[in-house]
Chain A
């Protein structure tokens, strides 16, 4: 019985990683860049929702929508100002470093506006969850909503990319930017759209993250961001179902390692598993094998 509740806890944690990982993998898969500021966009989204609920008296849903709107705009602005000039001009390493810079910039701006005191985030999920086996097993409302959101986002993204014109354009850009441009695809617009969607997802992830784990500081996004990035690599970066699967597995491994091996070693174990998986399957669980043409 306790194994089952550990498993549920793992799925609950994993579903949060999964929904963050979806944003990471989407941007990487299409724009071919690691947006290390993704974790901090999550944090911004959470702060927007927090302020809307606590100070402006919004109810949950409008607050979440506002957070999505702000983050979408923020994502596009970051892409236009910080990444696009570099994507065109220089190496991917410069973009990576810029992303780290944007990450610190966002943290410090939020620090300046909201101060350093941790805020306690009120959950946006208002139903209490399900109790099974006479209270021995509980699944919280947040977990249910997070998993459902994760699945929904995954399905919508896959459908969008596979079945719409814009989605096809994204696929084309991810395959070959130059060729896509020659075919008349607006490459910059497509990448901006990718960032808009990725950042909108980040807002949802931020609200769900803070609903499950209710402390909000300017650094809230960074560690879950790194874990989720790991999950995305684990599942095969660029693959949308892979990110979801990677997130879930990572969460379960983390909780089971804490429960059965050592609460001190859990992170070490998580990353050791990652190394082993990547040694055996370098592209991740569901990653595509790509052959370099010479």
Chain B
């Protein structure tokens, strides 16, 4: 009986190996990992939807250098362990290039795996510095957290938005603490006074009355929110309840607040955020993208969607620059692409980007403000 099982296992393993090597070599297989369920699902779904749009467009136009592209999305529920399982599953399915992961914490774990395998990784929106630190195979489309924090402090200083600035951040989240650290560095150089940052954790993101009371009592004129929109919506509601109305200043995690079901959008009126993408931009590229996204999924794409859309086109540009083909090994494709990344310049819906060898994009953020329930440029 034991032998039978062993034999069956061997046969199964052999079959698996066969199926992997027998994969067709005539398409580029791009994997995608992100939260499709769970609290951060809005980001993962936006990324996968937009990536699929870009892949469909590319395939319709004849593929990359004549080669068709297949996009394979996987769910990680914004959980590092599940993300690594999704990564292994995708590798079994023949993934050659990874667009992902969507959120920072899982990305740290997956990029370590991808660095071991020397598999090319391009995260659309994993903004923590650690997300692409594991190897030279990893790049990103969005700003890193440090850039966001520092740029926000600079923006507040340059536009003289406030003299006293408060912060509410999530001390249990690497994304939030990363932005806070550089915001503090930026604030140290600025003329405004930074109040003691107020923390909350994933386990205590229901009640913000103590934090808000502190900021109100200390006269904060602007409150910086380096957090995701779900907690921000509670903060805005509670602040309105206690007649506290500073300028609210968010980062890319704030994106999504306008698609939240049941939310009283009046509360988000006047909220500012730094983002590289605004859906009301007038250029043709953005308008086409917004139109096809709306057409297909019935909503206005957020910044995560824009990052993913640019991500797929960046992979296309890098493949064309490097001249890699699908029959090459994963490692050879990666070596080709990572050299090409520092050479290309991509103009996408999130701006014109070039990359440094350590994976960071160069592009400039725009400030938008929410007016009548839509983003408009703050300039």
Binding site for B on A (CB under 8 A): 2, 5-6, 9, 12-13, 50, 54, 111, 115-122, 129, 135, 138, 140, 209, 212-217, 219, 223-224, 254-255, 258-259, 262-264, 266-267
Contacts and interface: CB of A to CB of B under 8 A. Distances in A.
Contact of B203 (A6, A122, A214, A223): A223
B200 interface: yes
6 contacts: A2-B213, A116-B38, A116-B42, A122-B264, A263-B171, A263-B211
A54 B263 CA distance: 11
Contacts of A255: 207, 209-210
A224 to B, nearest CB: 7
Contact of B260 (A120, A262, A266): A120
A223 B204 contact: yes
Contacts of B41: 115-117
B57 to A, nearest CB: 26
B241 A213 contact: no
Interface of B: 35, 37-42, 171, 198-201, 203-207, 209-211, 213-214, 217, 230-231, 233-234, 237-238, 241-243, 259-264
A254 B209 CA distance: 11
A118 B264 contact: no
B197 to A, nearest CB: 8
A259 B199 contact: no
Given A122-B264, A214-B237, A259-B214, 15 more contacts: A12-B209, A117-B260, A119-B260, A119-B261, A138-B243, A212-B207, A213-B206, A213-B238, A215-B234, A223-B203, A224-B206, A259-B213, A264-B171, A267-B201, A267-B204
Nearest first, the 6 A-B pairs at minimum CB distance are A120-B263, A116-B41, A9-B209, A258-B210, A213-B206, A120-B262
Contacts, number: 104
Contacts of B238: 213
Contacts of A118: 39, 230, 233, 260
Given A54-B262, A122-B264, A116 B204 contact: no
Contacts of A2: 213, 217
A294 B13 CA distance: 60
A47 B205 CA distance: 19
B213 A214 contact: no
Contacts of A140: 241-242
A9 B283 CA distance: 48
Given A119-B261, A120-B233, A259-B213, A215 B206 contact: yes
A13 B233 contact: no
B230 A215 contact: yes
B198 A263 contact: yes
B242 A215 contact: no
Q: Which residue of B198, B237, B238 has the most chain A CB atoms within 10 A of its CB atom?
A: B237
A199 to B, nearest CB: 21
A121 B230 CA distance: 12
Contacts of B198: 263
Contacts of A135: 243
A55 to B, nearest CB: 10
Given A223-B206, A263-B198, A267-B201, A117 B262 contact: no
A269 B320 CA distance: 57
A111 B35 CA distance: 13
Nearest to B40: A116
A116 B263 contact: no
